[in-house]
Amino acid sequence: MKALLRVFLLAASVLMLCSPAMADYPERTVTLIVPFSAGGGTDSVARVFAPLLADALDANVIVKNVDGASGTLGTAEAAKAKPDGYTLGFIPIGPMTCQPNLRNLPYSIDSFDAIANVTLSPVLFYTAKSAKWNSMQEVIADLKANPGKYLYGSSGPGGMPHVALAATMEALGVDVKHMPDKGTGPAMKSLASGVIQFYADTPPILQQYDVKALAAFTEERIPSLPDVPTMKELGYDLQFSVWRGIFAPKGTSPEIIEKVAAASKKAVESPKFQEMAKKLKTDPKYMGPQEFSKFVASEFTKNGKILESAGLKK
């Protein structure tokens, strides 16, 4: 009986010690690891989001760039961080759901607790502005008539451009080989020079490079691009997006996850973030822990199947 009482008192004391820590979180600076270099799309969104998250948490939030290996170095660092809520990952689709399907990494989606999705951007099918095709129907007809003649590019193996276009070529039943580059900039040079003929990426590409969009990988037409048909309209139900969200190392307390999620929701829905996201050509899209966790798992499975069909899955 006395032994049971001692166990009860010990458990109670542990709870008393832990509860104030949860209630007082955060008591110091929170670091958001961005697994890409400064100035890129994910970094730009993170730097708009971080001060708004800081306001909502009433704490200092800083962005730390850990670039390398297609985003996997920074993602691995976020995964191995102490699960105390003070180091979080601001991670997009590629290193979270594509790269783990390609190769053995020191992390998987099970290494994280999903907290909140922040943005979700549509993906478009591009060709050079000077290219001979003016519609997706023309592209499809040409690809079917000339197997093996053309190439599609990407910013690197296993990224969203690669996944989207591999799925497209398989759905079309055409022979188009993949030529990866090291980043979007080099891929755009390859597109402009005619080394590759097709590319897939988010809407900002339209403003940044001499390209034209022939189709959208969306459920419905994009309001700002009403003349661009969806692949679904053309008979191919292919939908892809580039999303970015906050993740905590596995084992982070539910109280901290809920607190960061609530603060993220407030930040995403703030007028300032809505305005800045529009300037960055991305769409604010909040998903809470449960919804986001299910979404990430489904994306991992979907992208794994696509990469496997392309002969790339590990």
Intervals of the chain under pLDDT 70: 1-23
Assess contact for 300 and 97: CB atoms under 8 A. yes
CATH number 3.40.190.10 is the correct assignment for the domain at 124-216: yes
Contacts of 96 (CB under 8 A, 6+ apart): 75, 109, 112, 247, 296, 299, 300
pTM: 0.83
Assess contact for 32 and 50: CB atoms under 8 A. yes
Residue 155, SS3 per DSSP: coil
Q: Which amino acid belongs to residue 299?
A: E
Contacts of 11 (CB under 8 A, 6+ apart): none
Nearest one of 75, 39, 73 to 185, comparing CA atoms: 39
The predicted pLDDT at position 7 comes to 46
Residue 97, SS3 per DSSP: helix
Q: Which CATH class is domain 29-121+242-309?
A: alpha beta
**Start-end of CATH 3.40.190.10 domains in the chain:** 124-216
The predicted pLDDT at position 313 comes to 73
